[in-house]
Structure 1
Amino acid sequence: MPIVFCSLEIHLPHSHSLKEKRSVLRKVVDRLRSRFNFSVSEIEHQELWQRARVGAVAIGPNRIVLEGLSAKFIQESERILGGDLLRYDVDIFDYE
């Protein structure tokens, strides 16, 4: 059973408080969740105002399906976040 893990490193330059950061991040996470069948959550930098790391995980029938799905997930993330997406990582591995 293949599993894909996507990590998004995000910079939120217009955020001036944790409350504001969470509001912006919630909209991004909700939009990605509704569009893709991924489990999405903030996984790092919870205490910083202007940085966030979001993790997204999905399982699928084979690697080819997950490669296509993760590519679309990253494209949508880039479209939503624009220049605020600093970097991303995608890992696909098999779990037996």
Structure 2
Amino acid sequence: MIIGLLEIELYFPSSHSLKEKRKILHRIKDKIQKKYNVALAELDYLDKWQRSRLGFVTLNNNKNLIVSIFNKIITEIDFLAEGEITFHQVNFW
């Protein structure tokens, strides 16, 4: 069994409050979790209103399938987010 972790940092230049950021993140979390069946949490920058670091975890026997899911998530977030992805990293165990 392979565990995959995708970390994504986002920057929201148009966000002016934590409430705005949380609204954007809530929409992203709902769509990604329903579509890709991954565990998801905000990992860092909880008190920053223009930045966020999200973590996505999934497991499978096929590493290529995990990579494919993570690539789709990156593309989806790039489309959904009212900001930009500034960093992403994938780790496997």
TM normalised by structure 2 equals 0.89
Percent of pairs identical after alignment?
30
Aligned to 1:42: 42
Aligned to 2:75: 75
**Mapped partners of 1:24, 1:30: distance in 2:** 10
Q: Rg bigger for which structure?
A: 1
Q: CA offsets per residue over residues 30-75 of structure 1, 9 Å max, x none?
A: 1111111111111100011100000000011221221222222222
Q: Which moved more, 1:28-37 or 1:61-70?
A: 61-70
| Cα pair distance change 1:26/1:82, threshold 3 Å | closer
**Mapped partners of 2:39, 2:88: distance in 1:** 16
Count of aligned pairs: 93
CA RMSD, Structure 1 to Structure 2 (Å): 1.5
Aligned to 2:31: 31
| Cα pair distance change 1:47/1:82, threshold 3 Å | closer
TM normalised by structure 1 equals 0.86
Aligned to 1:6: 6
Unaligned runs of 5+ in 2: none
